[in-house]
């Protein structure tokens, strides 16, 4: 159960989000629509910064990742191949009396709409047996609403990456190991959207599919597969890494990303999926959690947290499924493997052949291929090794943008109490965003509004900075009020133009005051250094 104190905190956060334009209820003037949220001016900037940082970290700063931007609606065959059409569902029960539909696992917790004193499981209404309710939103593309025109709104961005794997490989001059990154919207018809923006029906994902060599191929080329030596970041990628080290690497890279935008390791949690939780094709999945105000507290008072991102080692399941369903080969040719294979002793070849064959056969059988076909196909696949052919495996770090935004907001939310000269106290909110994600990087303000020379200079400072970062010019009200306004918006620095800027003290000509949000500290900086000073902190 969540701590009631923390529910108060959630209420304060939701209220601040509306008041300052971080998050609004979608279609609010029409009573809203359950599970949909809009980002207001500050929220939109915060979200843009997060997506931009992820994209730059994942693609621009790396040689081994290419970007992709695919459509939300794709061929419905993609969702047959991925398994979503068959299995992406919750079991639901219909009540023939009240016509309500309820999640089968929640009938003991939900009140009967007609007799609220009873739970659905206890009421007299005649119920159907549980039936699967697919979570994909469905539409029709084309002029006729017929079976063949059914299409789905993607429930995840990942599948487009698999479907375009070959196109990207062929046009981007990449070689395995390499990744394909994508940011975009996805939709799930959640039965019970909840926890503000945490579980919504329309959301955004940042997904990387990082393609690696199967362990048997690594072993053929490098002689052996390196095994994790210790916990923590394993360092720069090496040719002898198998899936375990790549998985460890990406978990740690992603944690570094969160640390880099202000989520200390102490705010995070980890969940390593148990064998029972893992999908049959998955080798391992580590979830990175954040301790949200609504996260459950266990009996020892510990908070585990709720999921921000899952990093899954998905074997070659996805590419294999698309190969089977599309009839197009997803395998690649690797010259290095072909050369290395020819030089291996016969028993090594046999050993690798057998392990690869076994893995392929397991996949095929579990995917419903008839045993005799599975044996035949797996044999063919394993025979490919000698020709330098294999289907890459994949490590998938998959993050939810909206959850991360909510984590950043919850993490930044701080109440401070100021006491004035007369002993009067006032509590106000300071949003302690890391400068890299802060919606506004600097407030720019003339000390006084009614001094044209101060205003002119402050506008010049604004014009100097705004091609490089989002700044907010403010000349309304006392300087203290203006600082407080920026604190609430999460602006890390305020730049004030005062009489010293204009040369009242000659040695301070063309310097400004920088006021730090988190401790109120002030320092003096030359205008000429301002841009680089801010960029060094806020990019």
Residues 475-504 that bind a second copy (CB under 8 A): 476
Residues 311-340, interacting with a second copy (CB under 8 A):
322, 325-326, 328
Q: Strand, helix or coil at 226?
A: strand
Binding residue for a second copy, selected from 12, 55, 119, 127, defined by CB under 8 A: 55
CA distances from 280 to 160, 204, 502 (A): 21, 26, 70
Among residues 271 and 539, whose Cβ is nearest to a second copy? 539
Q: Say if residues 202 and 177 touch (Cβ distance below 8 Å).
A: no
> Minimum distance between the CB of residue 428 and a second copy, rounded to whole angstroms?
16
**Quick one: which of 95, 107, 153, 225 contacts a second copy (CB under 8 A)?**
153
The DSSP 8-state label assigned to residue 240 in this structure reads: T
Number of C-beta neighbours around residue 143 at 10 A: 7
| 429 scored as a contact of a second copy (CB under 8 A) | no
Residue from 294, 258, 289 nearest 271 by CA = 289
34 binds a second copy (CB under 8 A): yes
State in angstroms the smallest separation of the CB of 208 from a second copy. 13
CA distance 97 to 99: 6
- Comparing CB distances to a second copy, the nearer of 229 and 476 is 476
Q: CA 233 from chain center: how many Å?
A: 20
- Return the number of the residue (291 or 485) whose C-beta is nearest a second copy: 485
Taking CB under 8 A as the criterion, which residues in 177-206 touch a second copy?
185, 187, 189, 191, 201-202
Question: What distance in Å separates the CA atoms of residue 174 and residue 64, rounded to the nearest whole number?
Answer: 7
Our finding on whether 71 is near a second copy (CB under 8 A) is yes
Residues of this chain, 443-472, that bind a second copy according to CB under 8 A: 466-467, 470
Closest approach, Cβ 506 to a second copy, in A, equals 30
| Least distance in angstroms from the C-beta of 94 to a second copy | 9
Residue 17 or 374 with smaller CB distance to a second copy: 17
Q: Is 60 helix (H, G, I), strand (E, B) or coil?
A: helix
Q: Any residues with CB less than 8 A from the CB of 383 and at least 6 apart, and which?
A: 353
List 1, 4, 5, 30, residue binding a second copy (CB under 8 A)? 30
Residue 80 or 418 having the CB closest to a second copy:
80
Quick one: which of 162, 150, 87, 212 has its CA closest to 328? 162
- Residue 369 has a CB neighbour count (10 Å cut-off) of 17
Q: Which is nearer to a second copy, 160 or 255 (CB)?
A: 160
129 belongs to the binding site for a second copy (CB under 8 A): no
Name which position in 26, 89, 367, 414 contacts a second copy (CB under 8 A).
26
- Decide if residue 44 touches a second copy (CB under 8 A): yes
Site for a second copy contains 297 (CB under 8 A): no
- Selected from 8, 124, 141, 526, the binder of a second copy by CB under 8 A is 141
Region of 27-35, 270-278, 355-363, 522-530 interacting with a second copy (CB under 8 A): 27-35
Q: Which of 12, 40, 278, 414 binds a second copy (CB under 8 A)?
A: 40
Choose, by CB under 8 A, the member of 43, 179, 242, 384 that binds a second copy.
Answer: 43
Among 77, 354, 370, 387, binds a second copy (CB under 8 A): 77
Measure Cα distances from 338 to 218, 389, 390 in Å: 12, 8, 11
Q: Which of 2/469 has CB closer to a second copy?
A: 469
Q: Which is nearer to a second copy, 182 or 315 (CB)?
A: 182
Sign, Cα dihedral of 297, 302, 308, 310: negative
Q: Which helix (H) or strand (E) holds 49?
A: helix 41-55
Residue 414 lies near a second copy (rule: CB under 8 A)? no
The 159-178 contact track toward a second copy, x by CB under 8 A, reads: -x--xx-xxx--xxx-----
- The verdict on 41 binding a second copy (CB under 8 A) reads yes
User: Measuring CA to CA, how many Å separate 513 from each of 322, 473, 486, 487, 520?
Assistant: 59, 15, 15, 16, 12
Q: Which of 2, 14, 98, 137 forms a contact with a second copy (CB under 8 A)?
A: 137
One of 7, 8, 15, 19 touching a second copy (CB under 8 A): 19
Counted residue by residue, the chain has a size of 539
- Scored b (16 or more CB within 10 A) or e, 461-478 reads bbeebeeebbbbbbbeee
**Residue 469: CB minimum distance to a second copy, A:** 8
CB of 253 to a second copy, least distance (A): 17
Strands (E), 218-298: 268-272, 284-290
Q: Does 83 bind a second copy (CB under 8 A)?
A: no
Q: Pick from 50, 92, 251, 340: which binds a second copy (CB under 8 A)?
A: 92
Q: Does 539 bind a second copy (CB under 8 A)?
A: yes
Angstrom distance (rounded) from CA 223 to CA 165: 28
Cα 5 to Cα 166, 285, 293, distances in angstroms:
52, 32, 9
* Peptide bond before residue 177 is cis, with ω within 30 degrees of 0: yes
Q: Is residue 111 a contact point for a second copy (CB under 8 A)? A: no
Does 151 engage in binding with a second copy (CB under 8 A)?
yes
CA distances from 25 to 136, 198, 289 (A): 22, 13, 25
In the three-class reduction of DSSP (H, G, I as helix; E, B as strand; rest coil), residue 184 is classed as strand
14 binds a second copy (CB under 8 A): no
How far is C-alpha 54 from the geometric centre of its chain's CA atoms? 9
Instruction: Say if CB 229 and CB 128 are below 8 A apart.
Output: no
Query: d(Cα 218, Cα 227) in Å, to the nearest integer?
Result: 12
């Amino acid at each position: 159960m969540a701590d009631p104190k923390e529910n108060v905190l959630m209420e304060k956060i939701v209220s601040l989000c509306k008041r300052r334009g971080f998050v609004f209820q979608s279609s609010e003037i029409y009573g809203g629509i359950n599970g949909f949220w809009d980002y207001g001016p500050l929220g939109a900037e915060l979200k843009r910064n997060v997506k931009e940082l992820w994209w730059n970290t994942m693609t621009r700063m790396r040689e081994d990742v290419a970007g992709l931007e695919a459509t939300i609606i794709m061929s419905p065959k993609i969702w047959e191949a991925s398994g979503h059409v068959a299995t992406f569902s919750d079991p639901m029960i219909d009540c023939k009396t009240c016509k309500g539909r309820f999640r089968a696992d929640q009938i003991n917790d939900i009140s009967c709409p007609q007799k609220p004193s009873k739970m659905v499981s206890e009421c007299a209404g005649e119920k159907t047996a549980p039936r699967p309710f697919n979570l994909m939103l469905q539409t029709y593309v084309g002029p006729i609403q017929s079976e063949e025109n059914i299409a789905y709104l993607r429930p995840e961005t990942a599948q487009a990456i698999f479907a375009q794997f070959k196109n990207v490989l062929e046009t981007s001059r990449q070689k395995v190991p390499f990744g394909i990154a994508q940011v975009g919207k996805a939709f799930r018809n959640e039965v019970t959207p909840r926890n503000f923006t945490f579980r919504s029906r329309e959301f955004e994902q940042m997904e990387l599919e990082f393609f690696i060599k199967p362990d048997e191929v690594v072993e053929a080329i490098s002689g052996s597969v390196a095994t994790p030596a210790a916990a923590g970041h394993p360092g720069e990628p090496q040719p002898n890494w198998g899936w375990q080290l790549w998985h460890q690497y990406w978990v740690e890279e992603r944690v570094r990303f969160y640390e880099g935008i202000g989520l200390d390791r102490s705010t995070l949690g980890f969940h390593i999926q148990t064998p029972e939780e893992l999908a049959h094709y998955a080798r391992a999945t580590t979830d990175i959690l954040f301790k949200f105000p609504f996260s459950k507290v266990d009996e020892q008072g510990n908070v585990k947290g709720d999921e921000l991102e899952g990093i899954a080692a998905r074997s070659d399941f996805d590419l294999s499924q698309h190969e089977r369903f599309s009839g197009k080969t997803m395998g690649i040719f690797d010259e290095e493997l072909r050369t290395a294979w020819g030089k291996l002793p016969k028993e090594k070849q046999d050993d690798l052949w057998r392990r690869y064959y076994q893995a392929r056969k397991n996949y095929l059988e579990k995917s419903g291929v008839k045993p005799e076909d599975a044996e035949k196909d797996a044999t063919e696949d394993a025979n490919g090794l000698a020709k330098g052919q294999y289907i890459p495996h994949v490590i998938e770090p998959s993050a939810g943008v909206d959850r991360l935004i909510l984590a950043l907001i919850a993490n930044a939310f701080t109440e401070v109490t100021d006491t004035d000269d007369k002993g009067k106290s006032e509590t106000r909110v300071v949003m302690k965003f890391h400068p890299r994600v802060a919606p506004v990087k600097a407030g720019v303000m003339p000390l006084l509004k009614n001094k044209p020379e101060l205003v002119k200079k402050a506008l010049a400072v604004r014009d100097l900075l705004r091609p490089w970062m989002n700044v907010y010019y403010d000349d309304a009200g006392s300087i203290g009020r203006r600082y407080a306004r920026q604190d609430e918006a999460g602006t890390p620095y305020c730049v004030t133009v005062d009489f010293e800027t204009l040369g009242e003290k000659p040695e301070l000509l063309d310097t400004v005051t920088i006021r730090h949000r988190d401790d109120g500290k002030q320092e003096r900086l030359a205008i000429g250094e301002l841009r680089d000073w801010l960029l060094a902190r806020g990019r």
